[in-house]
Homo-oligomer: A and B are copies of this chain.
Amino acid sequence: MNTIYFTPGPSHLFSTYQKHLMEAMNLQLGSIYHRSNTFKNIYRHTDEQLRILMDIPSTHAIFFASSATEIWEKIILNCVDQYSFHLTNGAFSTKFYDVANALKKSPSQFAVDEGQGFNMNEIILPEATELICTTQNETSTGVQIPVEDLMMLKKKYPTKLLCTDLVSAAPYAAVDHTLMDCSFFSVQKAFGMPPGLGVWIANERCLDKANLLKDKGLNIGAHNTLESYFKNYKTFETPSTPNVIAIYILGKIAEDMNNLGLANLRRELDVKAGMLYDFAKQHKDFEPLVKQEEHRSKTVAVFNSVRPSAAIIAAVEQHHMLIGSGYGKDKASQIRIANFPATSIQQMEELINVLNTL
């Protein structure tokens, strides 16, 4: 019997995933040349469908990498001479900051406790800041930055490059890409695909910065630089041989989501998120980690658990459903439940019913 994965990534596969995979096999897409017209048309289609789905303006290009972790590195190398500024409130936003340190930059951070959101009025950037790094949805703690707050940040500091991590938020988060210089996500979260593909959305201000750094003689990397991405993008090519099949399926799933309508998908996710948080508020053994409602992620819910998470997870697994533990040091004391489009309202109901019987 199949398991329903409510884990926050890798997660349950989208209902149409396997159909598209079979079609890719029938079309022999695993063998096509990545400089062929067949591939270029695949890239073009995926680009078009993501653009429609996420309202990505023509000022931005869409690139493919292997993971968001890779993209962290490439953003810092290409967009920062010395000073990135990081809003940190959990493991992943902190890892982004750590990447800047590892790359010998001089990042600074505005850190709040895990489970906390940010008050944008409190944030004062160092004058020399080049890039503001935000994590719209902190997957480790289930804290979101309201998209309005991101806009506020950009309006307060319009000359700084602004970047946001949408790893477990895309395509749910209604980010205004006209105010976002770059953003990125992984396909194994809300798009319901297996891991192996990251997506980087960037405008030419990011490219200009990379060119400036290169002209200064800085090491901006050799593989997947913005220069090579933008150059290849003109003909819908990639710098090196990419994960062709994943790019094809991402386009197909984005098309499916467009046909379903993102507004409908969001409504369903809102309903399921409401069910999840209501459950935790009412249950004596669980409580939402995130206290402020506007900072609660709609796509990754994190609950403090009175009982050890391993016991809860094992009990739920008896019912062929899998939920996640807390992340890192909170592994034993929290559970994490993904609320992605691949699971239905009915499945979420079943999960909550099971949790209520424990």
A278 to B216, CA, bound (A): 53
Q: Mark each residue of chain A from 241 to 256: 1 if its CB lies under 8 Å from any CB of chain B, else 0.
A: 1111110000000000
**Residue pair B31, A196 in contact (C-beta under 8 Å):** no
Q: Least Cβ distance of A23 to chain B in Å?
A: 13
Counting CB contacts under 8 A, is A152 at the interface?
no
Counting CB contacts under 8 A, is A267 at the interface?
no
**Residue pair B17, A223 in contact (C-beta under 8 Å):** no
**Residue pair A243, B243 in contact (C-beta under 8 Å):** yes
Q: Mark each residue of chain A from 180 to 192: 1 if its CB lies under 8 Å from any CB of chain B, else 0.
A: 0000001010000
A195 to B66, CA, bound (A): 11
A49 to B308, CA, bound (A): 38
Counting CB contacts under 8 A, is A103 at the interface?
yes
Counting CB contacts under 8 A, is A89 at the interface?
no
Query: Which of A7-15, A113-121, A269-277, A298-306 is near enough to bind chain B?
Result: A7-15
Q: Which residues of B have CB within 8 Å of A3?
A: 28, 31
Counting CB contacts under 8 A, is A128 at the interface?
no
- Knowing A25-B18, A219-B104, A241-B10, the reply to whether A31 touches B194 (Cβ < 8 A) is yes
Nearest to A105 among chain B residues (CB) is B219
Query: Which of A70-78, A199-207, A257-265 is near enough to bind chain B?
Result: A70-78
**Residue pair A195, B7 in contact (C-beta under 8 Å):** no
Count chain A residues whose beta carbon lies closer than 8 angstroms to a beta carbon of B: 57
A224 to B72, CA, bound (A): 12
Counting CB contacts under 8 A, is A239 at the interface?
yes
Q: Mark each residue of chain A from 11 to 35: 1 if its CB lies under 8 Å from any CB of chain B, else 0.
A: 1110001100100010011111110
Q: Which of A30, A33, A240, A245 gathers most chain B CB within 10 Å?
A: A30
Q: Which residues of B have CB within 8 Å of A239?
A: 69
Counting CB contacts under 8 A, is A79 at the interface?
no
Q: Least Cβ distance of A65 to chain B in Å?
A: 7
Task: Select A223's contact among B10, B30, B34, B70, beta carbons within 8 Å.
Answer: B70
- Knowing A104-B217, A194-B30, the reply to whether A98 touches B222 (Cβ < 8 A) is yes
**Residue pair B223, A69 in contact (C-beta under 8 Å):** yes
A67 to B241, CA, bound (A): 7
Counting CB contacts under 8 A, is A2 at the interface?
yes
- Chain A residues 82-130 with CB under 8 Å of chain B are 98-99, 102-104
Q: Least Cβ distance of A66 to chain B in Å?
A: 3
Q: Which of A9, A13, A32, A225 gathers most chain B CB within 10 Å?
A: A32
A142 to B172, CA, bound (A): 48
Counting CB contacts under 8 A, is A221 at the interface?
yes
Counting CB contacts under 8 A, is A193 at the interface?
yes
Q: Least Cβ distance of A335 to chain B in Å?
A: 14
Counting CB contacts under 8 A, is A43 at the interface?
no
**Residue pair A244, B196 in contact (C-beta under 8 Å):** yes
Q: Which residues of B have CB within 8 Å of A11?
A: 31
Counting CB contacts under 8 A, is A63 at the interface?
no
Q: Mark each residue of chain A from 209 to 235: 1 if its CB lies under 8 Å from any CB of chain B, else 0.
A: 000000001010111110000000000
9 further interface pairs, Cβ-Cβ under 8 Å (given A3-B31, A196-B245, A196-B246): A10-B33, A18-B25, A69-B223, A103-B219, A195-B243, A196-B242, A196-B243, A219-B219, A243-B243
5 smallest A-B Cβ distances: which pairs? A30-B194, A196-B243, A66-B66, A69-B240, A102-B222
